[in-house]
Amino acid sequence: MASIPLLRLLLLLLPLPLREHLWPSHHRPNDVSAGAGELHPIFIVPGASCSNLEARLTDAYRPSEPSCGALKGKGWFGLWENSSDLPTHHYNECFKEQMSLVYDPVANDYRNFPGVETRVANFGIARGFRSKNPSHPEWCLAKLIGALEEMGYRDGDNMHGVPYDLRYSAPIPGQASQVYSRHFREFMELVETATEKHHHNKKAIILGHSLGGMVALEFVRNAPSAWRDKHIEHLFLVAPTLSQGFVTTVRNLVSGPRNLVYVADATDLSLRPMWRSFETSIVNVPSPGVFGHEPPIVVTERRNYSAYDVEDLLAAVGFSDGVEPFRRRTVARMNYHEAPMVPLTCINGVGNRTPQQLVYWDGNFDEPPQIVYGEGDDIINLVSMLAFDEDMCRQPGQKGRFKSIKLDNASHGSVLTDEWALRRVMQEILEVNRNSK
């Protein structure tokens, strides 16, 4: 006989009107803790725009404008929490300076702007995610978290949010990253606490969406094999941005970060220098092994650029500073294909117009490109998804523990907001909880 939590899970998979008929919301218990220990603890790693950053300015900070030093010596403040407030306080220019990173070629790593200390807020709390774009409050997994709560998950108990600093890229094993060394250590401690102390050694489910999918994957790949076996039940990657790359990354790099870093009253072009200082800006450029020579990803009257020509493209768009970190960090990622060697489900939307080629015909990279579209989830190209699937399936230790799900007409964002698509994701989480011992 199915247990009470599993009955709730099964009801959750029904369409909303039928679910309300069978189990009206006003009849549901407020305390769903009964039997919640039967569920595997889940750790949610959100998309790029959902984590909140706090900053502290030290004596070493030398602001470009005197007003930018107003908070110097006054402790921690919300640097990237509610970006709609930035223009109100005339803080846009200060924000861009204090968010910027500096590449350190000696350490082959990235650092904060001198005199700026940062930390991620609300670590461990799923309800701590916040969309910075008021036009898209649904971007930060509120519907997923709500569905998990209906399932019997409780924030801070057997459900945890794992925000991160979007500016840095999660490293492949062996790659330097001061920020992620600390972040992964804290993530491991969070998992250990939840799996060992509170839930009868129930292993963890880790779910990452978009850029959070890349963070989740690298977290698992960086963890020792014995630790993975002991603590991880299942890894879900939902619309992950992976090292196979995608063309939208190039558009953001060339023309500015559309929708990724929302700041009221700021144009993509005005945010472009800040965006280019982030390692994130170059980490998902199309991989030559996936995209090849044809078709070119950028077209101009004078020259075309394929995935093999990224260094030349960086120079052409005025970002020569990006060549060394691209060569020393991003290329290594493109050539790293090791599977995480844990049960893995990758869920992508397909059937959407997705940028495949960018045309800057007159060579003016300050103007928006004409876009040639292909197949994908409206952000990630289908060819990248299929290349990742192939990488996983050709490794014997992963092949039997890998599942790829393609949801037709679900987009990069709607895969976790459209009810029918979310229901499919929840069905997979149900299966893991139902099938585990």
CA atoms in the 13 A half-sphere facing the CB of 90: 6
Catalytic-role residue among 210, 306, 384, 411: 210
pLDDT of residue 323: 98
pLDDT of residue 1: 42
Whether the per-residue pLDDT at 303 is higher than 70: the answer is yes
pLDDT of residue 131: 80
Tokens standing for residue 340: 């995480």
Whether the per-residue pLDDT at 253 is higher than 60: the answer is yes
Catalytic-role residue among 40, 243, 412, 414: 412
Query: 0.75 exceeded by the pTM?
Result: yes
Side chain identity at residue 329, one-letter code: R
Provide mean pLDDT across the span 31-44.
66
Largest CA distance in the chain: 69
In angstroms, the CA 175 to CA 109 distance is 9
In angstroms, the CA 11 to CA 430 distance is 11
For the stretch 184-212, pLDDT in tens is 999 999 999 998 865 567 999 999 999 99
E strand or H helix at 389, and its extent?
Answer: helix 382-393
With contact defined as beta carbons under 8 Å apart, do 375 and 259 qualify?
Answer: no
- Assign 257 a pLDDT band (cuts: 50, 70, 90): confident
- Assign 132 a pLDDT band (cuts: 50, 70, 90): confident
**Chain-centroid distance, C-alpha 78:** 21
Side chain identity at residue 355, one-letter code: P
Question: Beta 232-238 vs 298-299: how paired, if at all?
Answer: unpaired
For the stretch 351-382, pLDDT in tens is 999 999 999 999 999 999 999 999 999 999 99
Whether the per-residue pLDDT at 126 is higher than 80: the answer is yes
**Percent of the chain with pLDDT strictly greater than 90:** 77
With contact defined as beta carbons under 8 Å apart, do 285 and 326 qualify?
Answer: yes
Better-scored residue on pLDDT, 259 or 124: 124
- Assign 254 a pLDDT band (cuts: 50, 70, 90): very high
Q: Among the listed ranges 11-20, 65-74, 136-145, 249-258, which one has the minimum average pLDDT value?
A: 11-20
Whether the per-residue pLDDT at 10 is higher than 90: the answer is no
Helix axes 178-192, 211-222, angle to 10 degrees: 80
pLDDT of residue 195: 86
Q: 88 — alpha (psi -120 to 50), left (phi > 0) or beta?
A: alpha
What are the residues whose beta carbons fall under 8 Å from the beta carbon of 359, sequence distance 6 or more? 298, 299, 300, 369, 370, 371, 372
For the stretch 57-91, pLDDT in tens is 999 999 999 999 999 989 999 998 866 566 556 78
Supply the mean pLDDT for the chain: 90
pLDDT of residue 378: 96
Tokens 């004596």 sit at which residue?
A: 59
Question: Beta 204-209 vs 304-305: how paired, if at all?
Answer: unpaired
pLDDT of residue 130: 82
Whether the per-residue pLDDT at 251 is higher than 60: the answer is yes
Strand order across the beta sheet in which 53-57 lies: 77-80, 53-57, 116-120
Count of Cβ atoms closer than 10 Å to residue 1 Cβ = 4
Whether the per-residue pLDDT at 97 is higher than 80: the answer is yes
Catalytic-role residue among 109, 165, 268, 377: 377
pLDDT of residue 34: 34
Listed residue (27, 90, 46, 9) closest to 212, CA to CA? 46
In angstroms, the CA 214 to CA 45 distance is 9
377 catalytic residue (yes or no): yes
309 catalytic residue (yes or no): no
pLDDT of residue 35: 40
Whether the per-residue pLDDT at 3 is higher than 80: the answer is no
In angstroms, the CA 213 to CA 421 distance is 17
pLDDT of residue 230: 94
What are the residues whose beta carbons fall under 8 Å from the beta carbon of 351, sequence distance 6 or more? 375, 408, 409, 410
Better-scored residue on pLDDT, 265 or 183: 183
- Assign 45 a pLDDT band (cuts: 50, 70, 90): very high
In angstroms, the CA 32 to CA 151 distance is 8
Whether the per-residue pLDDT at 5 is higher than 70: the answer is no
pLDDT of residue 92: 85
Helix axes 419-435, 142-151, angle to 10 degrees: 40
With contact defined as beta carbons under 8 Å apart, do 95 and 63 qualify?
Answer: no
